[in-house]
Amino acid sequence: MIPFLDLARLNAPHQHRIQAAMQRVAESGWYVLGQEVKAFEAAFARYVGVRHCIGVANGLEALTLVLKAWAFEAGSEVLVPSNAYIASVLAITHAGLTPVLVEPDPQTYTLDPARLGAALTSRTRAILPVHLYGRCTDMAPLLAFAATHKLRVLEDAAQAHGATYRGRQAGSLGHAAGFSFYPTKNLGALGDAGAITTDDDALAEQLRMWRNYGSAQKYVNDVPGHNSRLDELQAAILGEKLPFVAAENDRRRQLARRYLAELTLPDLTLPPADAVDADAWHLFVVRHPERDAFRTYLQQQGIGTDIHYPIPPYRQRAYATSWAGTDWPIAEAMHREVLSLPLNPTLTDDEVTRCVRTINAYMK
Ligand SMILES: *Cc1c(COP(=O)(O)O)cnc(C)c1O
């Protein structure tokens, strides 16, 4: 059996470092907002190429806190891709704002900048591009549009640690970015964790309050903040794993290149191959017109897959009344056809060979 993702195997090469970090924190007597968080924030800011990193509880909080700190008037609209993961949409509504869905580019699965104009209203205040599957959104036209219309840009970089766009890292392309370190991400903690990156000094200062009860000084509260702190244990573990992300992403790129070159099943649509070395390949997502039958076949052959995602945000019960009667044909087709193949840094060459052979042998 080749599992879609085995988290124990993913962390096995790091076990000795993880154990040492956990012991260090356990014995330190300091467990929240201490030296480990400070050191990781500095290292991650350097890695992304920005001035500030603010560690927070998870990726959803990272996005929510930035939108709250920007303090747009109630009813303001945020443009977000119609095929986003639910967290991107939840962040907007948690901040009291209105998500306006914009269809993605059907080739890249990321927000299509050419469609922004039609979604713009006098209430639009921000754009939330999602670098889905580890590929950066086409940011140049998006940033030009944002500048013209005085909009803030919040990158959802939760799947894009180490992805680049024109030589710059995901998380350094907009006004601020949210990262997740959920265990399955390219940089994963042993629990929930997240971070915000930004070059904006004033925003960074605000966010350090927002994540800590709205307080810069103990028992003095300047904004109605959250308890959304990255804890010392997770920060220490992330700090140990960060130096290996670049090499692990390179291994992901190697495997992606093999899939792209060797998968020949006629009905299969492969992901875009134009930015193999820039993409972080968080997921290798193919499309098949009879996805569910194809997935069952792979399962029977011992190959685990996953679907990112089976139900789009606008069809979730959580938002039952928000978008009734509207349709997003591009996102709809994606959710029906996408399938994520096994791809992670610990996957062996032999395992990829088996995946490729099994997929290419599929007959309806
Ligand atoms: C994982 C993820 C999030 C949310 O991160 P959590 O840490 O799980 O809250 C947000 N956006 C995208 C695209 C994600 O993949």
| Whole-number Å distance between alpha carbons of 3 and 95 | 37
Q: How far is the CA of 59 from the centre of ligand 1 (A)?
A: 5
Q: Which of 182, 228, 281, 338 to mutate to test the pocket of ligand 1 (most atoms within 8 A of CB)?
A: 182
pLDDT digits (tens, 9 = 90+) for 303-329: 999 999 999 999 999 998 788 778 899
| Whole-number Å distance between alpha carbons of 247 and 275 | 17
Question: Does the structure show a pLDDT above 90 at 126?
Answer: yes
* Ordered DSSP codes for 70-119: TTPPTT-EEEEETT--HHHHHHHHHTT-EEEEEPBPTTT-SB-GGGHHHH
**All domains of the chain in start order, with CATH:** 7-243 (3.40.640.10), 245-360 (3.90.1150.10)
Under 8 Å between Cβ of 81 and 101:
yes
In this structure, the residues whose C-beta lies within 6 A of any atom of ligand 1 are 58-60, 85, 87-88, 130, 156, 158-159, 180, 182, 192, 194
Nearest in space to 111 (alpha carbons), one of 144, 152, 145, 139: 139
Q: So which residues are the catalytic ones?
A: 185
Q: How far is the CA of 100 from the centre of ligand 1 (A)?
A: 19
Nearest in space to 157 (alpha carbons), one of 123, 194, 184, 210: 194
pLDDT recorded at residue 272: 95
Q: How far is the CA of 181 from the centre of ligand 1 (A)?
A: 8
- What atom of ligand 1 comes closest to residue 61's alpha carbon? 9
| Whole-number Å distance between alpha carbons of 308 and 132 | 10
The pLDDT confidence band at residue 357, using thresholds 50, 70 and 90, is very high
pLDDT recorded at residue 326: 81
| Whole-number Å distance between alpha carbons of 295 and 290 | 9
Residue 226: phi, psi to the nearest 5? -110, 165
